[in-house]
Each structure stands twice: as structure tokens, then as C-alpha cells.
Structure 1
Amino acid sequence: MSILYAEREYKMSERLLQRCLRLAEAGEFTQYVVQCTRMLRNLYAEQRQAIPYKKVAKMLQRAQQLLVWEDEAEQLYRDTQLALSSTVAARRAVLALLPDRILQLEALHRRARSFTTYNMVYRVRIAYEELQGNYQELIRVTGAASRRLREGKLNARRFDLRFNHFMSIYAYLRSRQPVQGLRLAEEYSRDFHPSSNNWFYFQEHHVLLAMHAEQYERVQQLLGVIIKNPAYIIQREAALQRWDLYRAYLDFVLPPQRVTTSRQRHMAQWVLQLPEYSRDKRGHNVAILVLQLLYFLREHNLENVLLRLERLRKYQQRHLYEATTVRSRLFLRLLQLIVEKNFDAAQAAERGKALLLQLRETPPPGEAFAEVEIIPYEHLWDLVLGLLREGPPVANEPA
């Protein structure tokens, strides 16, 4: 268009600019609206077309003002985004600023009423509610966005529906509403193409929802579909190990006849080779140590049960000291009871009632790197007691 304009091809330039302007307005790309209207204004001025000149000059003035508001909103959002991707201390510092920042963004959106300003408010509010661990409000925010989209109040060309779906089911998972979240995950899964990385991220939360809802047959079906995806094998090593971790947990909750002995041996060998602490498995270290403990409880191996319990105790002392790790600490205290009560399931259950009640009343943390509960700790405690009822661990007899 610039070349045509420079060559004084006014008619063709005008047609292309008008077409570009319509597309920019439909997509609410204000910066392109400004560029198109500026060029049209100049074109009409050179042709001495007063009426279209005045009309497009007013459009340009409105678009320029809108762009100022959008730029201000985007600057606030990018400042927030940068702080949230930094250190834990930086995230906590920006957390205190977010309520005022959200008010500023909402004021800008009331002036602009554009998709860009709405999206900045929406993104910062989601970040704030997630950091707060306020998952019920996160459900409300994502639900409101879905309704606005259905009612035609959001730009369907610009709104990231898949991100909204993901945050919605994540909030249901973390707020301990897995049945409702699983129902939505089944509905939302059609919007994620199996060839994209987003599909694997979404399915990871889909699997966890099914785990938390105790729909283990569904977990088995989902894992079967996921593993058969041609892109499965090219995921990062850390992602592949997470999938193996989920499959290993599934081995403990499916009926024994559904899991082959060779499969058990293979998974047991893999689990026991995992390091007891690894930074690249941050958020899953407790899950790994507990899984190792479960294997040895099933094998009635006293020495290794005591060793894993000691490693859990040390891990708690070194890494689980923040307020966000209360649930993990409570569960590990429950596990220590099985030694105190000499591996007697009935006595451990009775002694752990108060801790279990406290665990049930403690909500999941809001921190992004909190320990992931592949199976809720409450369900794991039932599993541990069930293994003890099958027989306590015993010492290996000397050769």
C-alpha cells in the first residue's frame, strides 16, 4: 500500500486501505486502525476530498486516544508479567501491588471498552486469584469470560478460549471440585488439537481431575489415548517422567487383576531409581517419595519402609517449611504415625483422626510450585491404611 500510495495509485490504495481498515476493526487491532486511518487521511487531503477527509480524521483521533489507553494497560500488564516470572520474592512483592493495578486496568477498560483493555484486566485478575489460591473466584472469572464470549460480547477472533478452558479446569482441580471439573474437561477437550503441546498440558490436568474424582477406569482410558499420540514420545524428558509417575500411581488403585506382574515389576524398578530430591521435579518430590513408600509397604519390606519414612522426614525439614506446604506437612505427620503405632492400621487410623480432619479443612496452596497431589492426600492415607491391613512390614531374615 505504501508503494501504491507513493506512486499516486490513489484508487487502488484507497480500496486496499479500506479493506485493511475493516479487518483491523473486526479484529480490534487498534494500532493497525491508526495506521490505516492516517494513510487514508493523507490520501484524501492530497485529493482535496473534504468530506471523507473530515470523517477519517475523526476516526483517527478516536483510534489514537484508544491506543494511548491500550498502551497504558499493556504496560501495566507487562510489568506484572515480568515480575511474576521472576523470583519467589519478586512474585510476593508484586502480589501486594496487584489490587491497585487491577483497579487501574479496570478504569482504563471503562474508558476504552476494547478487547485489549479487557484482556489485560482478565489476565492480571487470573494471575492474582491464582497467586492468592482463590480458586473459587478463578472459576467465576473464567466462567464470566465464557458467558461473555457466548453472548457475543468478546471478540471471538482474539479471545484465547483454550487458555480460559485450561485455567477453568485447573481451578476446579485445585478447589477440590474434581467431578464438576472432569465434566467440563470432557467438554473442553474437543477445542485442543492432539498435535499441539497445549493438548498434553490440558490432558495432564484432565488425568489429575479423574484421579481426584476416583474415576480410575477413566484415567486408564485417558492414559491409553495419550500414550498412543504420535507426539507423545517427543515430549521433554521431564514431561515423560510425569506421565510415568501418573501411571505408577494408577497401578496402586486399579484392581490387581488389571495390572500385570511384569508391568508392576517394570514400574517398581523405575520408581525406585528416581532421585529422592530433584529440582527438575519440583512440585513432585513428595509424590515420588510417597510412591516409593507405597511400593515397599506392599512388599512388606520393613527396612525400606523405615528408610523412606526417614527420607520424607528429612525432606520435610529441608524443603517444606513455608505456609504453602501445610497440606504436605500434615500428610507426612500422618505417615509418621504408622511407625509410632507399630504399623497397626486401626491404632494409626484412630490416632490420626485429628490430623486427618485438619488436612481435610486445609485448602490447597496458591503457589505455582507447591507439591502436586496426584492422588489427594486424604485418599492416599486410606490407601496406606489398606496396605497395613494386608499385613505389617517385616524385617528381612538374615541369610
Structure 2
Amino acid sequence: MEILKTLIRAVPARKLKTLRLPHAPLPGESSSKLYDLYSGISTGRFDDDGSAAQSLYGTTKPGNKFSKLKYDLRAQLLRLLPFVMLEKPELPKPYPAIYQCYAEWTAIRLLYTLGTTQAAVKLLKKLLRKAEQYELYEIVIGGYRLLRAYHGNTTGSQSSLKDIEQKLIQSLSLQAADMAAESAYYHLISHYVQDKSTKVFIAQQAAEALEKLKPQVPGSPSNNFFFKYKMIELIHHMSLYHYKEAISICEEADCFFRGKPFFYTQHLVIFQYQWIVSSIQLGQFDQARQIVRASLSILRKGSFNWYKAKKLEAQVALYENDYLRAYQITVQVARRKQKPEGHPVLHEEWILIEAYMKLLAMAGLIQLPQGQPRLRPFRLQRFMNEFTIFSQDKRGMNIPVLAAQILFLISKSDFGQAIDRFGAIEKYAYRHLKAEELTRSRVFFRTLSQLADAGFAVEKAKELRQEFLLNLSAQPQAPKNYHIEIIPYEDLWPLLSILLEQARKAKRNTANL
């Protein structure tokens, strides 16, 4: 059902009327049940197989007929999808041209198979010029192999065969370089998908990968090779906290891509993302804001990268103490009906940011103008059950989740439960926060534990604040991890103090009633 939902969103009803294709009947033209299934899913009436089967066949147990109906609808939508995608005005360059190349390549192979070789070869020569321009090596290599077969079987032209052989060798070499860089890059970034903790060991792996790739660096690298190679360089420097060097790489990448006849938007945006992160780490917030604006200007609203850019925009505002702006950005994202699918980590990141926004609002640090939209009501129990991935990331994103839970318990005057949790938190810190790059988090939880030992007394929080800030400043080798520190610890302790004072005051007022 999830695949059908995705396809139906990609092929909306308004597009069906404009696409009258032979041998691809539209839902409703050959089967009323086919249309009913399409309509039910698109309008939200059918949320799962059971509700659809009940409406269409009078049973909640989907059988063979229902399975075939789903298969038929999926097959028709898949046939329509390429035509819809080519017409989408919001599709970023160069994707329309690239998809057109693949469509032409499919048509040419069909023509060649049918025996209309002359027409196929003429079309293929034109296509190869475009495919080489867009560095589509699958088409380029496949196309030259087809030409080689044509000249070998039909014309016998030795000069053509020699020329094709040289171009094939060159294309295969470029593709091999791309594949090697791609393999090294994905092996490195896979370590960060569900674990956001800093990994110093990655620096050595990145350095080794770069050394292996150096002999394969082409004189004129493809977009794909340059992206992967420079990202490996970036990973190397970011793992060692070399943020100035990271910014230099991002600037180089920006110049490279903008100087090319075409580039992939996501390549540019990913470097901009790391540029923003490095600027945040260096406290260069003006530059971070400028790069965020540049990214958002080229991203489609609601896309995965748009959500990531908005997250960084909110985080820049948080690090600048512009809490109202951060809240407004979070509300803008939360109110969007269409969420990024298949990205549970990003989903959990936004839940966490919402929680910190709620804490800031509860502390009175965000004054919303009258009539401004607000975030959904917060429920602590729901929040504690939201993090299926982050709860496993013990040296990464589980840290801000735990910090937020403690702050919420304090805000609700639930000091008993907060104190009870510290036995487990102390064991957690001992097991998982030993690494040098987690020193700041270790200092935060150690100080928080001292406050818990004092029964969360307001005066103790004030007393510990100066000691806490001194301990943080004594850790220059452990810079802020923007993933973990949604709000920098230097600002998180004052927030905690405000929430604690409010909670104690509320408890006194209740006792006096």
C-alpha cells in the first residue's frame, strides 16, 4: 500500500486527464474497481489493505483479486510516471534533460531490436553528444557498444571501430574513477546515518581513501567524481575539527559546480550544508545565514534537502539566541502536511527541535505575537516514545533526548522522577560518554547530577552555573557538536535555571492554597 500511496502522489488525478497513452488505460477507463482503488487511496479513504478490500470486495482479508488489482494499478502508474516527471515544472535542472536521455536510450534500443538499425544509429549519435555532456556513462558506454556492434556487423568500417574503441576505453576509465570514489564515499558516510557522534577514526579512513583515489583523479573530473572526492576530503577535515579547511573545500566546490555547464543541485547543497555547519562551529553566524538563504533559494519546498536546510536555519537562530525566529521556522515546518518520506532520522531531528522550542516557550524566552501559529500541544510520554533510532544512538542523538526529558520533568515539578532517572543516567554517562569529543556532554550531565543530588534546589543551580561554565571553557579540544547541542550547553543551563525557578514557585503557590 505504501508504494501505491507514493506513486499516486507522484501521478495526481489532474495529470491523468492529460495523459492519453496507447496500451496504458487510465484508472476508470477499463475497470471501475481500478478507479475506486486509485480514488480511495488519493483521497485518504483507504489507509491500508484492509480498508480498501472491505470497500471493494466486502472483506477485510485481501485475497488474490485484490492483490491483482493493486498490481494492475501499480503497473499503470509506473508506465505513466516517466511522462508525468518530464512535465513537472518544479523538477530541478538537469533532471528533465537527463530523464529525456534515458527515455530516448530506451526507444533507440527498441528500434535497434526491431531491426530499424539505420534510424536507431542516427538517433544514437545525437543522443551520445547529450549523454557525454551530462556524464551519463551507462548510456555512453552502452551506446558505443551498440555502435561497435553496428559497424562490426554492418559497415565493417575499421576507422569507426578504432574511434569507438578509444572512446569506450576513455568512458570506462572515467566510470571506473567515479565508481571508486563513490564506493569510498558511501562506506564513510554510512557510519553517520544512525549515529551522529563525532568519529575521529573516520579521519584515518578518509585519508587512506584519498591516497588510493589519487592515481585515478582525471584531468577533467566529472561532477560525480569531484563531488565524492571533495566530500571525502571534507569528511577527513570535519572529523578532526578543521572547520576553516572545511570551509575552503566548500568554497572550492561552489566555484567548481557554478563553473560547469550543468550541475546537480543536491551536490551544491550538500557542500553548502557542511559550509553552514562549519560556520556555526566557528561562530560565523552571518555567513551561516547567508549560505542557508542561498540553499533555500534553489531548493524545492518540501524536499528532503529543504527540510535539512530549514533545520540548519533554525539551529543558526538558536545559536544566535534568536529564539522567536527559531520557533517560527519550526512552526512553518511542522505545519506542512507533506513530510519527507523514508527519512526517519530527519523526522526524529525535527521532533527534538520542536521539544526544545516548547521548553524555550515554557521558560518565557519566546514571546509570540497575538494570532501567531503555535506548535502542537506537547505530551511528555509521547515524546519519550518517539525516538526509535535516536534511543539507540548512545554516543550521539540520545544525549539531547535525555537532556530534554530531564528539563521537561523539572518544568513539571516532577523532581522525584527526575532524581530517580539519574541513577540510570550516571551509568549511561560512564558507559557511553568517555570519548574526548563527548567531554562537553559529560560535563553537562555530571553537573546536572550534582544538582539532582541537591534535590534540584534553585540556589544550587545558581551556584553550579559558574562552575559549569568554567568546566566547559576548560575543554577547548572538544568543540560543540551542533547535532548533539540543539541549544549550546552554555545557554541550556540558564534555560534549566529558569524552568527550575518557575517549577519551585508553582509548587510553593500550590502548597499555599
Using structure 2 for the length normalisation, give the TM-score: 0.62
Q: Which residue of 2 aligns with 1:182?
A: 289
Match of 1:334 among 447, 456, 463: 447
The structure-2 alpha-carbon separation of the partners of 1:291 and 1:316, relative to structure 1 and needing over 3 Å to count, comes to same
Match of 1:281 in 2: 390
Pick closer, same or farther for the CA change 1:35–1:48 going to 2, 3 Å. same
Amino acid in structure 1 at the alignment position of 2:390: K
Point out where structure 1 has 5 or more consecutive residues left out of the alignment: none
SS at match of 2:440: helix
32-41 or 69-78: which moved more?
Answer: 69-78
Tell me the distance in 2 between the aligned counterparts of 1:351 and 1:94. 33
Farther off after superposition, 111-120 or 319-328: 111-120
Q: State which drifts further: 154-163 or 210-219.
A: 154-163
Cα contact 1:179–1:209 (8 A) shared by 2: no
Please, which of 331, 347, 352 is the counterpart of residue 242 of structure 1?
Answer: 352
Change (3 A) 1:238 1:351: closer
Aligned residues of 1:133 and 1:364 also touching (Cα < 8 A): no
1:241 and 1:230 map into 2 onto residues whose CA distance is 15
1:271 counterpart (380, 393, 402):
380
8 Å CA contact retained: 2:295, 2:309: no
Stretch of structure 1 that moved more, 197-206 or 142-151: 197-206
Of stretches 314-323 and 221-230 in structure 1, the one that deviates more from structure 2 is 314-323
Asked if structure 1 preserves the Cα contact closer than 8 Å seen for 2:202 and 2:236, the reply is: no
- CA distance in structure 2 between the aligned counterparts of 1:287 and 1:84, rounded to whole angstroms: 17
SS in 2 for 1:160: helix
Aligned to 1:102: 210
Question: Do residues 199 (structure 1) and 312 (structure 2) align?
Answer: no
What SS does structure 2 have at the residue aligned with 1:107?
Answer: helix
The share of aligned pairs that are identical, in percent, is 19
Structure 1 residue 327, shift from structure 2 partner: 0.8
> What CA distance in whole angstroms lies between the structure 1 residues aligned with 2:312 and 2:487?
12
Note closer, same or farther for the CA distance 1:57–1:255 as it changes in structure 2 (3 Å cut). closer
In 2, the alpha carbon distance for the partners of 1:61 and 1:352 equals 62
For residue 138 of structure 1, what is the amino acid of its counterpart?
A: A
Whether contact under 8 Å (1:274, 1:288) holds in the other structure is: no
Change in Cα spacing, 1:307 to 1:57, as seen in structure 2 (3 Å) is: closer
C-alpha distance 60-4 of structure 1, shift in aligned 2 (>3 A): same
The answer to whether the 8 A contact 1:175-1:364 is kept is no
> Does residue 320 of structure 1 match 2:320?
no
The corresponding residue for 1:377 is 489
Matched AA of 1:331: F
| Greater fraction helix | 1
Query: Contact 2:315–2:486 (CA<8 Å) still a contact in 1?
Result: yes
TM-superposed CA distance for 1:218, in Å, is: 1.1
CA contact (8 A) 2:323 2:365 kept: no
Question: Which letter maps to 1:245?
Answer: A
Please point out which of 333, 343, 362 is paired with 2:458: 343
Q: Using the alignment, how far apart are the partners of 1:92 and 1:285 within structure 2?
A: 19
Partner of 1:138: 246
1:169 aligns with 2:276: yes
Residue 389 of structure 2 aligns with an amino acid whose one-letter code is D
Flag the 1:296–1:334 CA change in 2: closer, same or farther, 3 A: same
Contact 1:66-1:112 within 8 A present in 2 as well: no
Distance 1:160 1:342, change over 3 A: closer
The CA distance in 2 between the partners of 1:158 and 1:373, in whole Å, is: 29
Whether the 8 Å CA contact 2:359–2:408 is kept in 1: the answer is: no
Aligned to 2:471: 355
- The aligned residue for residue 480 of structure 2 is 364
RMSD between aligned residues: 4.2
The equivalences for 1:249-260 within 5 A come to 249-252=359-362, 254-255=364-365, 258=368
Name the CA distance, whole Å, in 2 between partners of 1:32 and 1:79: 26
Question: 8 Å contact 2:200–2:240 — kept in the other structure?
Answer: no
Q: Secondary structure at the match of 2:389?
A: helix
CA separation of 1:40 and 1:212: change in aligned 2, threshold 3 A = same
Give the Cα–Cα distance (whole angstroms) in 2 for the partners of residues 220 and 203 of structure 1: 12
Q: Distance in 2 between matches of 1:64 and 1:264?
A: 53
SS of equivalent residue, structure 1 residue 372 = coil
Cα distance, 1:131 vs structure 2: 3.7
How many angstroms apart in 1 are the aligned matches of 2:380 and 2:375?
10
Distance 1:60 1:306, change over 3 A: closer
C-alpha distance in structure 2 between counterparts of 1:151 and 1:189, whole Å: 20
Deviation at 1:21, TM superposition (A): 0.6
Q: Secondary structure at the match of 2:296?
A: helix
The structure-2 alpha-carbon separation of the partners of 1:71 and 1:288, relative to structure 1 and needing over 3 Å to count, comes to: closer
8 Å Cα contact 1:216-1:254 kept in structure 2? no
- Secondary structure of 2:217's counterpart equals helix
